[in-house]
Amino acid sequence: MKSVHVKRYLILASIAMVALLIAACAPAAAPTAAPATQAPAVQPTAAPQPSSAPQATTAPQATTAPQATTAPAATEAPTAAPAAGGGVANIAFYQEPNSLSLYFSNQTFAGWAQAIYNRGLWAYDDKSQPSLELAAEFPTTENGGVSADGLTITYKLKPDLKWSDGEPFTSKDIKFTWEAIMNDKNTGIVSRDGYDKIESITTPDDQTAVVKFKELYVPWQLLFNNPAGGGFMPEHLLGTKDTLDGDEFFRMPIGTGPFKVTEWKGGDHITFVANENYWRGKPKLDGVTVKIVPSRDAGNAGLAAGDVDLVADEIEASIPDLDALMPKAHAQSVPSQSFEHYFFNLDDGKYGAAGNPIFLNDTVRKAYIMCINRDTIAERLLFGKSKVISNLWPNSQYDNTDLKPYAYDPDAANKMLDDAGFAKGDDGVRTMDVNGKKVRFSFNHETTTGNQLRADVQVLATANLGGCGYEMLPQNYPSATLFGTFAQNGPLASGKYETGGYTTSFSPDPDPSDNFKCSGIPTADKPEGSNWYRLCDAELEKLSIDQAKEADPAKRTDMIKEMQKIMYDKAYVAPLYNRLNTIGLSSRLQGINQSPTQADAYWNIYDWTVSQ
């Protein structure tokens, strides 16, 4: 087992290892370099070099997600009793949030930071079930919280709730949050999907909010809640503002969660201290410090040195290395529905940010998938701790298991491309005739810096694709830049990219929000929206809309599986592998029970303790 401390000679050895993998598994050598494509406004950083990985372990068994249309069994944790001595937990984030509100950020790390200081009506526990926070009860037809026609949801709040500044939290804050999301002057809002289905919110008293929908909206439970929603915004501080775009409040916000933000030093740390106004009472910890580190390796070095208690978002291949630190530290992993995928900018120019036109061709996209040795990624780079996937709903009951991942077959892919008339040039790069012009199969690929596994995968994919006549040019960015909103000129949101890659999931409810709706494509006139694929397929959009209105769980599942088949047949995305939710954990930090959802470890942070 290698040490988690990163040494220069280990990195060099890793480069040699990936080179051997490429030589063993990939076809012909990559073509010579071509002129770079036009870069986004923000200057990218250089793609990092690949790293080494430990020995293989067995992949985990799949988990089953709860049915979205069945009322889940909400639980309520007991009021936290402060632990003797309190103490501070130190968490390492290798991606710095670009906001502390998910309404203004697409970053998973922003969501995790938000879970520390701000809560919605409920969170999702280690069994993917709602754990009540501000809500007194989970709305059902039995308790009158859901109307017979399903169009009205009544939220009942706990009594005497307070913001972290001591001001009362009331149903008026729920209504204000919805109005702020729907306010067109707030152009930085990431997505209004779901909230735009609400017709009205009335507040008959301070503890009751009545939400009336325009039409049946099955995934209503995700609105206003982590991990998919952004909690609430305080009317008493923000209610008089004309716009919330760029507001400094979201760097030093107040909230309703176990801790409150006291300092954010960019590039260094975010400090949270115990919130005495949290409804459960003061949490067991005195505070939490999020340390901003340049990479997972840097976080793991801190874990080994005893300076860090938790490293967020570990990769599967690091698990044996982390466990080698026992009893001082170890890995904690749970199966999840998260997936890593590559994708294309499929805008044909209609939405103002055309991608590379070669990817508008089904054959080019399918051959692209067949040319990447995903089995090598799963078995060698991830050392058997993950599996290749065919769709974006893996490891759940919505997974269309009739669809088998496209096999790695560069010979067949090359033949497909040859037969289509996309010949290789002298430099080995193919071309396509587009409106009388020859367009080379050369394109950028954008993902996050500070992620060594993604760098390894890029190295392998670049070489694999080179053997098929594609030229992939890595062009990576810090997370805050890559995941910037349209208003922030984020490369993905604004469509200033050709291909990209990252991890996400559609859980605990399978609703993909507006990711596959034509109306979800961000534009200058409508900058909100999560359809960064810039994909507009009428059949796919209809299914995406209809599944959110289908109350019958079996019929809804069939619709989601049909969405997968369309995406599979047309190769709209390149699914790579299913992720584990994995963290590096020191032995002094106790009480962590990760959720399979994107809420990850932070849903019960009020119950964490540290040994002194």
Residue 548 φ/ψ, nearest 5 degrees: -75, -10
Give buried/exposed letters for 529-550 (b at 16+ CB in 10 A, else e): bbbbbbbbbeebbebbeebbeb
C-alpha pair distances (Å), 357 with each of 360, 368, 440: 5, 14, 10
Token output for 511: 């609703």
Work out the angle at residue 113's Cα, subtended by the Cα atoms of residues 387 and 251, and round it to the nearest 5 degrees. Answer: 140
Find out whether 598 and 347 touch, Cβ atoms under 8 Å. Answer: no
Beta bridge pairs of residue 466? none
Pairwise CA distance, residues 314 & 308, whole Å: 14
Query: Considering only CA atoms, which of 295, 285, 271 is closest in space to residue 113?
Result: 271
pLDDT band, very low/low/confident/very high, at 387 (cuts 50, 70, 90): very high
The CATH class that applies to domain 95-291 reads alpha beta
Mean pLDDT of 262-281: 98
Query: Considering only CA atoms, which of 342, 343, 340 is closest in space to residue 387?
Result: 340
SS3 labels along 511-548 = CCCCCCCHHHCCCCCCCCCCCCCCCCCHHHHHHHHHHC
Label the pairing between strands 269-274 and 259-265. Answer: antiparallel
Q: pTM for this one?
A: 0.81
Q: 118 in helix, strand or coil?
A: coil
Find out whether 51 and 108 touch, Cβ atoms under 8 Å. Answer: no
Residues 143-154 have pLDDT tens digits of 999 999 999 999
Assigned CATH topology for domain 37-54+339-580: Dipeptide-binding Protein; domain 3 (3.10.105)
Domain layout of the chain by residue ranges:
37-54+339-580, 95-291
Mean pLDDT of 340-369: 98
pLDDT band, very low/low/confident/very high, at 30 (cuts 50, 70, 90): very low
Residues 363-374 have pLDDT tens digits of 999 999 999 999
Mean pLDDT of 312-321: 92
Following DSSP, what letter does each residue of 341-386 receive, concatenated? EEEE----STTS----GGGGSHHHHHHHHHHS-HHHIIIIISTTSS
Pairwise CA distance, residues 530 & 106, whole Å: 8
Pairwise CA distance, residues 319 & 331, whole Å: 6
Query: Considering only CA atoms, which of 461, 453, 458, 459 is closest in space to residue 383?
Result: 453
Pairwise CA distance, residues 209 & 226, whole Å: 19
Query: Considering only CA atoms, which of 83, 300, 187 is closest in space to residue 527?
Result: 187
The region of weakest confidence among 57-71, 263-277, 496-510, 580-594 is 57-71
Give buried/exposed letters for 244-283 (b at 16+ CB in 10 A, else e): bbebebbeebbbbbbbbbeebeeeebbbbbbbebbbbbbb
Q: What is the DSSP letter of 131?
A: E
The answer, yes or no, to whether residue 59 has pLDDT greater than 50, is no
Q: 570 in helix, strand or coil?
A: coil
Query: Considering only CA atoms, which of 424, 421, 425, 369 is closest in space to residue 572?
Result: 369
Residue 576 φ/ψ, nearest 5 degrees: -100, -70
The answer, yes or no, to whether residue 135 has pLDDT greater than 80, is yes
Work out the angle at residue 225's Cα, subtended by the Cα atoms of residues 514 and 574, and round it to the nearest 5 degrees. Answer: 35
R_g over Cα of the chain:
24
The answer, yes or no, to whether residue 183 has pLDDT greater than 80, is yes
C-alpha pair distances (Å), 177 with each of 154, 182, 401, 505: 16, 9, 39, 25
Query: Considering only CA atoms, which of 184, 182, 177 is closest in space to residue 203?
Result: 177
Pairwise CA distance, residues 541 & 455, whole Å: 33
Dihedral of the CA atoms 16, 18, 19, 20 (nearest 10)?
A: 90
Pairwise CA distance, residues 188 & 345, whole Å: 21
Q: 454 in helix, strand or coil?
A: helix
C-alpha pair distances (Å), 612 with each of 83, 89, 289, 605, 609: 11, 11, 16, 18, 9
What local confidence, expressed as pLDDT, does residue 128 receive? 86
Find out whether 573 and 567 touch, Cβ atoms under 8 Å. Answer: yes
Residues 520-559 have pLDDT tens digits of 999 999 999 999 999 999 999 999 999 999 999 999 999 9
pLDDT band, very low/low/confident/very high, at 356 (cuts 50, 70, 90): very high
Residue 458 φ/ψ, nearest 5 degrees: -60, -40
Max CA-CA distance within the chain?
Answer: 75
What local confidence, expressed as pLDDT, does residue 228 receive? 55
What local confidence, expressed as pLDDT, does residue 477 receive? 96
The answer, yes or no, to whether residue 11 has pLDDT greater than 50, is no
Dihedral of the CA atoms 440, 492, 407, 544 (nearest 10)?
A: -120
Q: Given the structure tokens 């109307």, which residue do they identify?
A: 147
C-alpha pair distances (Å), 477 with each of 265, 344, 491: 20, 17, 9
